[in-house]
A = this chain, B = another copy of it.
Amino acid sequence: MSVRLTELTTPALVIDPGALDHNLMTMAAERPGAGCRPHVKAHKITALARRQAAVGHRGFTCATIAECAGMVAAGLGSDLLLANEVVDATRVGALVAAGARVTVAVDSDATLAAAVHGGVREVVIDVNVGLPRCGCEPADAGRLAETARGRGLEVRGVMGYEGHVVGLPSRERRATDTETAMAALLVAHGAVGGELISGGGTGTYDLNRWVTEVQAGSYVLMDSAYGQLGLPFRQALFIVATVISVNRAGGYAVADCGLKALGMDHGNPTIAGATVRFCSDEHVTFSAPALPAVGDRVWVVPAHIDPTMAYHARVSVLNPALDAVDEQWEIDLRGW
């Protein structure tokens, strides 16, 4: 493809291939092979999952049934973990019946029954390790595993996501709080058994030494929230926007990247050398010491990668010089 960056309709999601490769290699070195089960919810792109598989990570984590189905359709369904509870597992069962391997998280008798009813064969017991979300109490994990096995399910182990820890600014605090969270998970694993102890994320990818696999997702593209933690991963994803209005008296400019192009739960995006004032549906208003001109392009970094990707239909992978598009990837794991 020979589309120049300046020809892309904006807002345009783009990937810096050098930063992407750096991130892929950094994780593969620290957590080789099955030590990382990349979470596809962060990027929702089977073409990018294929890159992760190419550096050794052949198992993947999914958050939705649609992500599982898309991964299977792309030939990447040899070992998927649906790290989330589902009440209707029939679509998962259909994938399993067709030959895919999909292990499903269960944290209650109801979700366990849904797995059985839906035709799921393998589960992990999802354990609450401190984040007020899904997961059974650690003390209940053994009973659930026993019930599951009694109903014919294979219990592959446990998962417990320390989501309340992965974003803490202090590395030392992340280390100690991860240890606390994983102590609870290991208690559960002692009662459950199985080869999998799954957990962790980008913020604890090298600190969580208790899991057999980390479910990191954001590391591969990154965002400004994780960018503040001093991790060795580089910002690989940007939204290229066009400046459409400049108010020199007011000291601000406006570019065409707004709320429908950006996950906003972690706050405003950032623009290098500028201060973002606010976002509207299709605008970002920012001030800067040297204001750009109408027609200039700016590179916007989202605060939170996952809900940003879910807004876009495709992403352009740039050439190393970052001035043309090498290839376009469909963001093909969206929806439910």
* Candidate in A280, A281, A335 with the most chain B CB atoms within 10 angstroms: A281
Contact flags (1/0) for A134-164 with B, using CB distance below 8 Å?
Answer: 1101000000000000000000000000010
Q: What CA separation (Å) do A107 and B311 show in the bound complex? A: 28
A134 close to B84 (CB less than 8 A): no
Contact flags (1/0) for A78-97 with B, using CB distance below 8 Å?
Answer: 00000011111000000000
Known A86-B244, A264-B307, A295-B87; judge A277-B134 contact (CB<8 A): no
Q: What CA separation (Å) do A11 and B334 show in the bound complex? A: 13
Chain B residue at minimum C-beta to C-beta distance from A63: B282
Contact flags (1/0) for A248-277 with B, using CB distance below 8 Å?
Answer: 011010101001100111000000000001
Task: Determine if A111 is an interface residue (Cβ-Cβ < 8 Å).
Answer: yes
Task: Determine if A132 is an interface residue (Cβ-Cβ < 8 Å).
Answer: yes
What is the total number of residues of chain A having a CB less than 8 Å from a CB of chain B? 58
Which among B11, B64, B107, B293 is the interface contact of A282 at CB below 8 angstroms?
B64
Task: Determine if A23 is an interface residue (Cβ-Cβ < 8 Å).
Answer: no
A163 close to B307 (CB less than 8 A): no
Chain B nearest CB, measured from A16 CB (Å): 21
Chain B nearest CB, measured from A252 CB (Å): 6
Task: Name the B residues within 8 Å of A283 (CB-CB).
Answer: 133-134
B86 close to A133 (CB less than 8 A): no
Which among B87, B260, B304, B336 is the interface contact of A259 at CB below 8 angstroms?
B304
Interface residues in A285-334 by Cβ distance below 8 A to B read 285, 293-295, 304, 306-307, 310-311, 313, 334
4 closest A-B pairs by CB: A110-B294, A264-B265, A85-B244, A134-B245
